Amino acid sequence: MNHNHPVFTDNDPQSELVTLNLGPTHPATHGVFQNVLQLDGERIVSGVSTIGYIHRAFEKIAEHRPFYQITPLTDRLNYCSSPINNMGWHMTVEKLLNIQMPKRVDYLRVIIMELSRISDHIICNTIIGQDTGATTTFLYLFQFREHIYEIFEEVCGARLTTNIGRIGGFERDFNEIAFAKINKFLKEFPVALKEFENLLSRNRIFIDRTAGVAEVTKETALEYSWTGPLLRATGVDYDVRVSDPYSSYQDFDFEVPVGTSGDIYDRYLVRNEEMWQSVRIIEQAVEKLKSEPKGIFHADVPEFYLPPKQEVYNNMEALIYHFKIVMGEIDAPKAEVYHAVEGGNGELGFYLINDGGRTPYRLHFRRPSFVNYQMFAPMSEGMLLSDAIINMSSMNIIAGELDA
Amino acid sequence: MEEATLNNNILAKLSDKFGEKVTAVSEPYGLLSFATTKDVIVNVLSFLKNELKFNFLTDITAVHYPGKDHGIAVVYHLNNMVEKVRIRIKVFISEQNPTIPTATTVWKGANWMERETYDLFGVRFEGHPDLRRILNMDDLGVHPMLKQYPLEDPNRVDKKDEFFGR
């Protein structure tokens, strides 16, 4: 198929091919994706992806918002793991402002980020199960996403689009209930994850559907700039947490799981193992927090950290800083900064140019789903339609991150 | 310290190879950043990829500086995964005729990044296999990230202060 032109249904009576419009709102694709596929029987001959159905021009909007108002925009990138996006944005600004975080804040952030990584991977892996016909696994593990959201709710009050934390730390300290919920999660989740693996990992039907399907070599994956679990499933041990540590990830002991063949089964295994590693990291973080001084939940940078409302009403300095931050009058250096975090789907980068104005001069999001997804149509060629569906599930393409 | 030596080595090798074409070198937050021209950009990218092990294309985007001679900067971020170094390359091109050779010949993954840059900034990547809009509709007519296009219609009346008693 000629990729240079929009696709029209082929009316040639001699042609044996069927044109199928998969999407934009097809239930099997879990999001707004359109793929126009040419089918020969059940096999895909060629396909063209169309994206942009929920393009919200975040980069343009960000040029008109002060820094702290950009956090809610990042929520809506990968909305399955909003806290990672929020933290990534906070850390980008902190890098620009040269703010050093206290260790306790770093560890609290690590807990939140790893919890959201787990919730992201839960969604992806249970949905691979669902798409291969195993609804049970979906129902078993999906409950724990709910528990994670309850922890977020305790920390910031929101569940999905969290807007968690602030530039300079957290808006409030974690309360006792939050820690109790985290501990409860750490106790119960491994049991359920084990059960999930027992149901799926050695399941004959599941292996037949996924092993050897959509194999990708590491050369191809690097050529297409893949990151995250997809890249690691092909055997490249690239993880931003290790190669470019942020938020004190260097203090933690964890492994970066890699696959060998890059097929769907490997991606599933890599994500599962990452959940185990995330549990390990959270356990270590909870342990480390015990030796940190209590009550520190933000850096001591009053000129950049939005003060609590109570202080704004009772304290003149806090009122002044509050006014300046809200109006975007903070004294940020004129500079360019690129900061990357390991999101649920790969390297989530923020390229920020500040010209000293109230708003960023330019802000670009390097969105892993967008970069990963471009290989979907070329790699679907020659694949069965039903395999392409689980291939898409295993790539965990999130429409919000795709379009920005 | 180690990072600085690495960056200096990279810069020395680049200057050896491309001489005058490597300009505006800076190192904000430890990330080596330089500008080059569009006639050598593909050579620079393949030199970095093949000789200096910058095997990974992280990102391509653009920035608009209205009113300058070369008002559009195309920005490439590369990553050397082995030595854990990142690098930023900028190419300033004319706003009236924003063309630049495509990087899809070096990395296939540049395809959609360049389509996005074309869509939002109107940068035409010469030799690109499929240069269509990607996020916006085909008949939008403008490239919305350019600074002359406001975020909202400035003439709309429903947000005028007078209607809110201000």
Q: Residue A7: pLDDT above 60?
A: no
CB contact under 8 A, A52 and B134: yes
Overall domain count for chain B: 1
Collapsing DSSP to helix, strand or coil, A377 comes out as helix
| Cβ contact B110:B60 at 8 Å | yes
- A122-148: average pLDDT: 91
Averaged pLDDT score across all residues of chain B? 89
| pLDDT(A93) > 90 | yes
CA distance A62 to chain B (A): 10
Is residue B165 domain-resident? no
Q: Does some domain include residue B106? A: yes
- Tokens describing residue B153: 């219609």
Q: Where does A58-403 sit in CATH, by number?
A: 1.10.645.10
- pLDDT of A2 reads 45
Burial B101-118 (b: 16+ CB within 10 A, else e): bbbbebbbbbbbbbbbbb
Instruction: Give the model's confidence band at A26: pLDDT under 50 very low, under 70 low, under 90 confident, else very high.
Output: confident
Q: Does residue B35 fall inside a structural domain?
A: yes
pLDDT tens digits, A377-400: 999 999 999 999 999 999 999 989
Query: Distance (Å, rounded) from C-alpha B28 to C-alpha A156?
Result: 33
Cis? peptide before A308, omega within 30° of 0:
no
Identity of the residue in A59, A338, A373 whose CB atom sits nearest the CB atom of B86: A338
* pLDDT average, residue stretch B152-157: 72
Q: What is the structure's pLDDT at A10? A: 60
* ipTM score for this prediction: 0.91
Region B155-161: mean pLDDT is 68
**Structure confidence by residue, pLDDT tens digits, A297-317:** 999 999 999 999 999 999 999
Mean pLDDT of B83-102: 94
- Residue B37 in domain: yes
B163 within a domain of the structure (yes/no): no
pLDDT exceeds cutoff 90 at A247 = yes
CB neighbour list of residue A295: distance below 8 Å, 6 or more residues apart: A173
Q: Is the confidence at residue B1, as pLDDT, over 60?
A: no
Chain A: give the shortest CA distance to residue B110, in Å: 7
Distance (Å) from the alpha carbon of A336 to chain B's nearest alpha carbon: 7
Residue A390, class by beta-carbon neighbours within 10 Å (0-12 exposed, 13-18 middle, 19+ buried)?
Answer: buried
Beta carbons of A77 and A85 less than 8 angstroms apart: yes
CATH code for the domain in which residue B72 is found = 3.30.460.80
Residue B112, domain extent: 2-147
Nearest by CB to B112, which of A55, A64, A374? A374
Contact residues, chain B to chain A, C-beta under 8 Å:
28-29, 31, 33, 55-59, 61, 63-64, 75, 77, 81, 84, 86, 88, 107-113, 116, 120, 129-130, 132-138, 144-145, 151
Confidence class for position A328, pLDDT limits 50, 70, 90: confident
Q: What are phi and psi of A143, to 5 degrees?
A: -55, -35
Strand duo B124-126 + B99-101: pairing: parallel
